[in-house]
A and B are shown apart, each in its own frame.
Chain A
Amino acid sequence: MKISRKYFRTLSVASVASAISLTMVTTSGASSGGLAKGAPVKIGISLSLSGDFSGDGLAFQQGYKLWANDVNKAGGLLGHKVSLDIVSDASSPTQVVTNYQKLVSSDKVNLTFGPFSSLLSLPAGKTLSRYGYALVEGAGGGPSVFQGGLKNLFDVSLPVANNLIPFATWITSLPASSRPKTVAYVTSNDPFTQPQVTTIEGTLSKAGIKSVYNKVFPAEVTDFTPIADAVAAAKPQVVVLGSTDVPTVSAFMQAFEQSGFTPKVFIATGGPDQGTTFIKAVGAGNADGVMVPNAWYGGSANPLSKKMVAEYLKLYGGTAAGVSSDVVEAYSVGEVMAQAVKATGGFDNKKIIAYLHSGAVMSSAQGPVKFNSVGENVTPTAFTFQWQGAKFVQVNPVKDPNSVKVLFPKPAWGK
């Protein structure tokens, strides 16, 4: 009994001490409004620098670094130089939680930027919510992210559920004589891809486009050949692929070509927007006619985008068409946070969250940004892009002045 009491007392003291220290960490993090003169502002970021999302993680890192360079060249945020504290999460939803806990508790960062993907943004947002930190991110636009009801999470990009709507509108507006008659839907069970694909199924069905294949595959699948062969065997005229990365798209394209199957329309939700990386993986001749939905491309007329692309090319080389959309998504995160910091006059996360929820319209390289109550950006328009030769061009919405004619039907592979 004596031992038990002693044990209980020790446990109680330890619990109270832990609670106090946790509160101190939370408080210091949430109210990091005042920084000593000349001290850098530390921004904590978890990125997928290895694992499934490593290609996107690297592009995000480029975007964040590009933004930090630009801000520091212009004197920093409110006179404080920006210092990025980037840790790798290996594309793991578990590691991303540990990383943000470390960034806040141990590294004592002042602000936090988001990881890559909806899969990682939600756990990151939940974790930072407990510390009172705002999480501004650029690649967590899946509906499941916003259904979490988090008040501290803000996605500066296009909410993904509506990504394919301009594409569906274009297909259904084609004259009945040339409109495709059959479609295959094949998607990874990822929060980024599935909502996009399911959103347009009803629209295409109502227009008389019959589904001849509709399957979901687990995200951990690495051998896509049998699935692609099954799609090819169904001979759909349209293939809608719910993909997150380049390897998935290139595997389907290779299997289609080997099966002697060329759909009239081929659109993938992610991968073809990766610029040079996509071209290197699939070969320049094969990209022709491949489509992808997004809210931005390297040739965007937005002055902020033009400035960013010019600086990107100066730093990393390449062409405007080769700039991954991940870069601009990350860059836009920085732009939005900078405007919130300027508007609130400091680095107080509580004030920043309130400002971002205030309905203020901010600007970014992707276009205007305005958040609703769950952190969705309500302003962007979805576009569809297509590789035409070595060019990555906007093709939808058809009536948009910047859209060019869709390459339809898609040329045979390698032609």
Chain B
Amino acid sequence: MATGLTLIFGVMDIINIAQGILVILGAYLSYALQVHWHIDLFVGLLITIPTMFVVGIVIERLFFRRLTGPEKTGMSILVTYAVSLLIEGSLNMIFSVNDVQLQGSYVNKSFAIGNIHFGFIYVAGFALAVVLLSALYFMLYRTRFGVSVRASVADQTSAALVGIDVKRVSTITFGIGVAVTAAGGMIYGATNAFNASTSYDLISRLLTIIVLGGMGSLGGAMLAGVGMVFVGDMVGVVWSPVWSSMSYFIVLAVVLLVRPQGLFGKQSARVA
């Protein structure tokens, strides 16, 4: 979920506030496939990931193509918020505001190693995140398109000068950033009851994660995501649940005091 957000920011300088609702849209797609066509959650990803890719392309074409100039990043917050409201309203009309949760024979099951129980869905979710991140890394560092993406991240003007179609790269990157929300949404929907409003909780956490990891850094997003869950859970269990959520922000504040660009962010990216 956070990798898509940070990828979009890295290439397009867009802070996609709609990422939370796109995750929920991905969850609802899995829900619809499961309820109406009895398609398994993981098999359903073969349909939902390409669908969300197309959704991303459409959103980019409709709303972000025209965003240019020095105000682009600031304006992107407003535009993506508007997109978020549009999708939220549509989901409420289609699915109602009643909470739903994705079901499956393995969703509530677990296995034990010693006294420690591991939920299948969490292990599968972690494995899925590793696979998707590996695929993203392969695409970025082993393909011609990846070279274009990295060049666009470094300097869009220079990339255009050497013949890279920056607009096309941006469109596809936005599509990929949205496509990964299908996987994130499926795992989220299988581990939490949700409705469209759940997106507000998600986006606040996703933004915290990418700021901590360093905006634009895929590895940073992964590490920050795992780190924040670990810190929150440890504080909740060892100390008190009251401080669990607060602990994210304490960690964030401390890291930003020492490294204002986040754990893996580049100083130059902030200046630009």
B residues contacting the other copy or chain, number (CB 8 A): 40
User: Contacting chain A: which of B56-64, B93-101, B164-172, B177-185?
Assistant: B93-101
At the interface, yes or no: A10 with Cβ under 8 Å from chain B?
no
Cα distance A229–B198 when bound, in Å? 23
Which of B43-51, B102-110, B143-151 binds A?
B102-110
| A145-153, A191-199, A203-211, A213-221 - interface stretch | A213-221
Q: Cβ of B108 and Cβ of A254 under 8 Å apart?
A: yes
**Across-interface contacts of A406 in B (CB, < 8 A):** none
Give the residue of B103, B110, B244 whose beta carbon is less than 8 angstroms from that of A283: B103
Give 7 A-B contacts (CB < 8 Å), ordered by A residue: A55-B195, A218-B245, A223-B244, A247-B194, A277-B99, A281-B193, A282-B101
> CB distance B237 to A222 under 8 Å?
no
Residues in chain A near residue B192, CB distance under 8 A:
222, 247, 250-251
Interface size for A (C-beta < 8 A) is 43
- Contact present for B117 and A217 (CB under 8 Å): no
Q: Chain A residues near B240 (CB, 8 Å)?
A: 215
Cα–Cα distance between A255 and B192 once the two chains are bound (Å): 11
User: Who on chain B is nearest to A186 by CB?
Assistant: B241
How far is it, in angstroms, between the C-alpha of A217 and the C-alpha of B205 when the chains are bound? 18
CA distance A217 to B101 in the complex (A): 22
Interface residues of A (CB under 8 A from B): 49-52, 54-55, 57-58, 90-91, 189, 215-218, 220-223, 225-227, 229-230, 245-247, 250-251, 254-255, 257-260, 277, 280-283, 286, 413-414
> 1/0 contact trace for B207-238 toward A, CB 8 Å?
00000000000000000000001001110110
The verdict on A251 contacting B193 (CB below 8 Å), with A58-B98, A281-B100 known, is yes
Tell me if B112 and A254 are in contact (CB < 8 A): no
Q: Which residues of B contact A (CB under 8 A)?
A: 88, 92, 96-101, 103, 107-110, 112, 117-119, 122, 191-198, 200-201, 205, 229, 232-234, 236-237, 240-242, 244-245
Asked if residues A250 and B236 are in contact (CB atoms below 8 Å), the reply is no
Residue numbers in A under 8 Å from B101 (CB-CB): 250, 280-282
Docked pose: A51 CA to B112 CA in angstroms: 36
Of A90, A218, A221, A230, which one neighbours B237 at CB under 8 angstroms? Answer: A230
B110 touches A259 (CB 8 A): yes
Q: How far is the CA of A90 from the CA of B197 in the complex (A)?
A: 9
Q: A50–B236 contact, CB under 8 A?
A: no
